Amino acid sequence: MNLKEFGKVAVLMGGRSAEREVSLMSGTGVLQALRSKGVDAHAFDPAERDLGDLKREGFARCFIALHGRFGEDGTVQGALELMGIPYTGPGVMASSVAMDKLMTKRIWLAEGLPTPAWRQVRSAAETRAAFAALGSPMIVKPVREGSTIGLTKVSSLEQCDAAYALAAGQDPMVMCEQFIAGDEVTCPVLGTGEQARALPVIRIVAPDGNYDYQNKYFTDDTKYLVPCGLPEGEEAAIQALVLKAYRTLDCRGWARADVMIDAATRRPYLLEINTSPGMTGHSLVPMSARATGMAYEDLCLTLLASAALDNA
């Protein structure tokens, strides 16, 4: 790998989404890793600088360590396409679709991929109706937000109004989703097209089954099991499902899909796919890659080398 071919690299971090704090942690880790390998890498926060500076200052490619809206939703990707600066992760369409959990589910369902039942809701009253239809417990969450921000697990009708208000405070589009009781797992994918490969599955065991924002990033109480310890054949089946989900959305570079396995039937259900996954000390893609012998620094280099344009 010729590092000079990378040129001047911007690590995009921070941004304006609700996940800014986590993005700064991800970006700092990536920046240090790339610099340790000899890459001419620089921090760049789109919340504090004009994106046009990337072109004016001669940046040759971007590592996107932004999470959530204005970073993971196709908007930054579109700007980089216009400037002709290659970037890591999926392109404009895949990024914008994956950020929209409803659109993602509609596409997966059309392709015959399993995903929990859901309802889009526009009011607290519709949330209560969804609870009657989907059963207890039910998940209420914003359609275009990540890191479980604005998410509530509802187990009684009385919780519906507050759950809707919390989700709607993050995004006017709110969805209710059937809760799948069972094992919570996640599976990263690296690569593009037929060369894409699924990394080892990670099983997540959170305190009281509550894998929320705090337990994701700021405590050490959540257990991450790699190897995942699932019954023989299940890990390979989940990897195959996640690869299909990834390719169906035309993702490239990398992503990470979240899956629930029904405890009774052992059937896996796709929840969502993250097109700019976390790269913090608690993050799951580096953890899964490490299980294959790939160090964090090498993962960052591999991702940077995959930077591309939709319309190159």
Residues labelled catalytic: 19, 147, 217, 256, 258, 272, 274, 278
Q: Give just the sign of the alpha carbon dihedral 291, 296, 300, 301.
A: negative
> Where do the DSSP E strands lie in the chain?
8-12, 40-44, 61-64, 118-121, 138-142, 152-154, 174-178, 182-190, 197-198, 202-205, 223-225, 254-262, 268-274
Can you list the alpha helix ranges (DSSP code H) found in 85-123? 92-99, 101-110
Element (H, E) at 52: helix 52-56
3-class SS of residue 235: helix
Spatial separation of the C-alpha atoms in residues 201 and 258, rounded to whole Å: 10
How many other β-carbons are positioned within 10 Å of the β-carbon of residue 311?
A: 9
With CA atoms as reference, report the closest residue to 142 among 171, 113, 104.
Answer: 171
3-class SS of residue 107: helix
* C-alpha gyration radius of the chain: 19
Q: Give just the sign of the alpha carbon dihedral 86, 89, 90, 92.
A: negative
- The token pair that represents 27 in the structure block: 């970006």
Q: Give just the sign of the alpha carbon dihedral 173, 179, 184, 186.
A: negative
With CA atoms as reference, report the closest residue to 13 among 22, 4, 2, 1.
Answer: 22
